[in-house]
Chain A
C-alpha cells in the first residue's frame, strides 16, 4: 500500500542505435524454447495488463453510470448516500496542488544536493551524504505519515503563522480558518521530503556522467567551479533533471498513507493553502475503502482510474521531453 507509484522505473534508455534483428536460428532446440518462452511471457504480460484495464474500466463505468452527481465537477464523495453522489474535482485539485508544492520544494533542493555530492563535497563526505539521502527512500510511507502527524504538523504551526502574517496578502498564504497545519501545504512539504531521494540520486548519476573533457576544457579556459557547472554540467544534465523530477512527481501523485495520516480531508476546493482541508486520490481511496460497500469500491476504482490516467500523462510528457534530447540523456547511467 506504500507509495503506489505507477512509475517505478527510470524512463527507458534511448533505443539502441540499431536493432540488430533476431539472429538467424541456429536450429538448436534451446534457442527455440527460449524464443518461445520470452515471446510467450511478453504476450502474457500484455494480456494481463489488458484484462486489468478492462476490469477496472468495467467497474468504473458501473459506478459512474449510477452517479447522481457529475463525476468531474461534484464536490462530494458519498457513494453510500441516497442518491449516490460523488465527484473527483476536489481530489484532482488536491493531488495536483500538493504535488506541485512538493516539486517546487524538492527539485531545487535535490539538484543542490546532487551538485554538492558530485562536484563540491570532498569524497569522504560525499559518500555518506549520498547514502543518507538514499536511506530516506527506504523509510515506509506510513512512518513518514506518523512522523508528519506527530512532529511536522505541530512544528509547522509557527511557520504557518509567520507566512500568514507576512505573506497573507498573496491570498495563497492567508489562513482564514483556525486549525492545526493539517493542510495541503503541509502535505506538499512532506511529499517533498519523500521524493527527495529519487530526484537526488538520479540527478547525481546524471551529473557524474558529464564528459570529463567538457569540464576540463571549461576549467582550462579559466572558468570557476560555478561556471563549469553552469556551462557544462547543467546543460548536459537538464533532461536528466527533468526525468528525475518526473519520477518524483509520479511518487508524489500516488502517495497514499502519509497523506492519509497528515491531511485533514474535506470536500472543498480552496486556494488558501494553509487552511486544513483538501484531499487526494490515493488518500481518499485509503480512507474510504474499508467501510465502502461494493458500489462504493467501484466508485473508488473509478477515481483510481483517473489517477492512473493522470500519471500516464505525466509519464508520457517526461518521455516526450527526454526523447527530444536523446543525445544528452543521462538517464541510462
Chain B
C-alpha cells in the first residue's frame, strides 16, 4: 500500500516535473531579447565566409555581460561555422562575474557593460603579468524608455522630466511638465508607475549616467549599478521590467530596445534640445555613440559617452558594452583565438549584424582603433 502510494507520487512528480520543466524552459526563453531579430540571421551564416581564422584553435571560454548575449550568440555561431576546430563558449552570466572570472584567469576575455574600475585593473595585472586589462568597445545599443498609457501611443520627454518621473517628483501623467512637451496629446489624470530594475544592472548605471549628465539639477544620485532613488517599483531583469510595463496602465520603465521591439511596447522619443525629438533606434544610437570620446589611456579604449549631445537624430540614452582582454600577457594557448574571434566581431561583417539584433554598431572611427588594438594584442 505504502509502496504503491510512493510510486504513484513519484509518477506524479515526474509528470509535473516534465510539464513545469517545459514551462521553465520557455520562461528562460524570455531572456532572449532578440525578439524577431535572430530569425533573419539563418542565411547570414554563409555570408560569414570572410572570417579570418588565423591560427585559432581549440577551445576558448569567455564570460560576462548578458546585455551583449544576443550579439555574442550571433558572432559565435557565424565564427564557429567558418572556423572548424574552434569552440567558443560565452557564458552570459553578468559583467561582475565575467570580470571576476577574467581576473582569475579562467576565461580568455570577459564581456562587461561598464569599463573596468581602477581596482579591477589593479587585479588584472596579476593575471596579465606583463600587461593589464583593457576595454574594447564592441557593442552599442539604445536603452529605450517604454511606457503604457491607454489612449496615448506617442510620447516625448526630455532628460529633466525623465529624472523627475523616475525620482517620483512628477506623479501624474497630466503634469504640466509632460503636457508642455506633448502638444496636442490628451494626457489622462493617472498616477505614473515608474519601474526600475530590482537587481544591480549596467542598464541602470547607464540611465543614471545619462540623467546625471543631461539633467544635473534634477538627478543628484551617483550613477551606480544599484537603483539609487527611494521611490518607484522594481522588477527583476529587463524582461521583468518590460513585462510590468506591458501589463500596467500608467507604467513607464527602461530596458534595451530589443525588449520593446519584441513585445511591441511603445517607446518615448527624447527631446535633446536638438531640432526634433529623437526616436530610440539602432541608427540613432550609433549617431550618439559617434559623439563619444576615448577616455582610456594607452591601449585601453574605454569610452566617455556624450549624453548631452544635441546632434541631429542622435539618441543620447545609449549603452556600450566592452570586451575585456589583456593588452599584453594574454595566455599563449588562447591568444590567437581571442585575436581572430574579436577581429571578426569588430569587422564590418561582425558589426553589421548587430543592427538586426537590436544593437548599434560602434562608429567607424572608434572601431578602426579597436581593430588596430586587437591586432597588437600579445
Contact = CB atoms under 8 A, between A and B. Distances in A.
A81 B144 CA distance: 26
B17 interface: yes
Contact of B234 (A146, A266, A292): A266
A182 B198 CA distance: 12
B240 A290 contact: no
Contact of A135 (B12, B23, B199): B12
13 contacts: A80-B224, A80-B226, A131-B8, A131-B12, A138-B12, A140-B17, A142-B24, A143-B24, A149-B235, A264-B233, A264-B234, A290-B94, A291-B201
Given A139-B20, A291-B225, A293-B96, 4 more contacts: A80-B226, A81-B226, A276-B233, A287-B236
Nearest to A82: B222
B93 interface: yes
Contacts of B198: 260, 263-265, 287
B21 to A, nearest CB: 8
Interface stretch (B241-249, B339-347, B359-367): B241-249
Interface string A125-148: 000000100110011101100100
Contacts of A177: 231
Interface in A166-194: 177-180, 182
B193 A138 contact: no
A80 to B, nearest CB: 7
Interface string B164-176: 0000000100000
A294 B94 CA distance: 13
A40 interface: no
A261 interface: yes
B96 A290 contact: yes
Given A80-B200, A140-B20, A180-B244, A292 B230 contact: no
Given A138-B16, A180-B248, A143 B230 contact: no
A290 to B, nearest CB: 4
Contact of B13 (A138, A150, A178, A260): A138
Contact of B225 (A80, A261, A263): A80
Nearest to B172: A178
A117 B244 CA distance: 39
A268 interface: yes
Contact of B226 (A78, A131, A142): A78
A228 B279 CA distance: 72
A154 interface: yes
Closest 3 CB pairs of A and B: A138-B16, A291-B200, A287-B199
Contacts of B247: 150, 154, 180
A143 B12 CA distance: 17
A114 to B, nearest CB: 16
Contacts of B230: 266, 268
Contacts of B47: none
Contact of A178 (B17, B94, B191, B226): B191
A138 B8 CA distance: 13
Contacts of B95: 291
B31 interface: no
A22 B191 CA distance: 73
Given A78-B226, A139-B16, A146 B94 contact: no
A8 to B, nearest CB: 15
Contacts of A260: 198, 236
Interface in B190-244: 191, 193, 198-201, 224-226, 230-231, 233-236, 240, 243-244
A77 B100 CA distance: 20
A332 interface: no
A224 interface: no
Contacts of B13: 138
Contacts of A149: 235, 240, 243-244
B1 interface: no
A70 interface: no
Interface in B91-105: 93-97, 99-100
Contact of B96 (A140, A264, A291): A291
Task: Give the one of A143, A180, A268, A288 with max B CB within 10 A.
Answer: A180
A179 B251 CA distance: 9
Contacts of A180: 193, 233, 244, 247-248
Nearest to A153: B247
B27 interface: yes
Contacts of A134: 9, 12
A304 to B, nearest CB: 16
Contact of B243 (A140, A150, A288): A150
Given A135-B16, A266-B234, A294 B248 contact: no
A142 B226 CA distance: 23
Nearest to B226: A78
A265 B198 CA distance: 6
A268 to B, nearest CB: 7
B27 A294 contact: no
A292 B96 contact: yes
Nearest to A291: B200
Given A140-B20, A291-B95, A179 B236 contact: no
Contacts of A178: 171, 191, 193
Contacts of B23: 143, 146
A188 B268 CA distance: 35
A179 B195 CA distance: 9
Interface string A290-325: 111110100000000000000000000000000000
B100 A294 contact: yes
Contacts of B96: 290-293, 296
Given A131-B12, A142-B24, A179-B193, A292 B236 contact: no
A185 B21 CA distance: 28
Contacts of B244: 149, 180
Contacts of A81: 224, 226
Contacts of B201: 291
A180 to B, nearest CB: 5
